[in-house]
Amino acid sequence: MLIDARDLTKTFTTADGKLPVLNGISLQLQPGETLALTGESGSGKSTLLHLLAALDTPDSGTIRHQDDDITSGNDTSRAAVRRNRIGLVFQQFNLIPSLDIAANLAFQARLAGRYDADWCAVLSQRLGLSELLSRYPEQLSGGQQQRVAIGRALAPRPPVLLADEPTGNLDEATADSVLEMMLELVDETGAGLLMVTHSTRLAGRLSRRLHLSQGRVA
């Protein structure tokens, strides 16, 4: 099992008091599985993704990545999980503005010590980025940037790809083609995919769907 999360809870403290976001959620992701996480705004789907990506820690519950508990570790071990086991794609692309596209593509792979030049070349070719490698993020369109982000996430061949509304900032046609590329590459690498989206249409293209409502699986 790639991810085994059990009884996760998370409460945020706001000016108006405590705001429970996740109320005991459990979730599993198998290798090769593509899972869509849907729900209303505020249903907790992004928070859940952040917990699974070791960006944040749950108040209670456990998360195992390939049988390793990541909830008990410290900052360093969580960073290692992010670096070695997860590919992340965000709605805002979040490329590193000071690095060119080639360096952005290779960044995480090199960070994880799993840089493979051939694979990167394949990725950039498949994602249609070959001509853009020496450019900088700000010079690219939204769709192009998101393709870089996907390439960056897949370059270290992570077992899990976590995507948070990866096409949320793109128009429908671009969104479809980007999603297509991502699914193809996930399929080829055999990674598991967990994608947060509010679009039922896109969710339908994934193998499984989990709907969240008020911090619980509906």
Count of CB atoms within 10 A of residue 35's CB?
Answer: 21
- How would you class 28 by CB atoms within 10 Å of its CB: exposed for 0-12, middle for 13-18, buried for 19 or more? middle
Pick the piece of the chain touching another protein (CB under 8 A) from 21-29, 85-93, 122-130, 203-211: 85-93
User: Least distance (Å) from another protein to the CB of residue 208?
Assistant: 23
Residue whose pair of structure tokens reads 């405590």 in the numeric block: 18
Task: Specify the stretch interacting with another protein by CB under 8 A; choose among 84-92, 116-124, 186-194, 206-214.
Answer: 84-92
14 forms part of the interface with another protein (CB under 8 A): no
User: Cα separation of 177 and 164, whole Å?
Assistant: 17
Query: Could you count the other beta carbons within 10 Å of the beta carbon of residue 217?
Result: 15
User: Could you tell me which stretch among 25-33, 79-87, 117-125, 207-215 binds another protein (CB under 8 A)?
Assistant: 79-87
Subset of 168-207 contacting another protein (CB under 8 A): 168
82 makes contact with another protein (CB under 8 A): yes
Percent helix, percent strand, percent coil in the chain, to nearest 5: 35, 30, 35
**Residue 133 in the binding site for another protein (CB under 8 A):** no
Judged by CB, which is closer to another protein: 95, or 132? 95
**Which two three-digit tokens encode residue 97?**
């503005």
Applying CB under 8 A, among 15, 17, 67, 75 the residue interacting with another protein is 75
Cα separation, 184 vs 151, in Å, equals 12
Residues that bind another protein (CB under 8 A): 12, 41, 46, 50, 53, 55-57, 75-76, 78-80, 82-84, 88, 90-92, 94-99, 103, 106-108, 110-112, 152, 164-165, 168
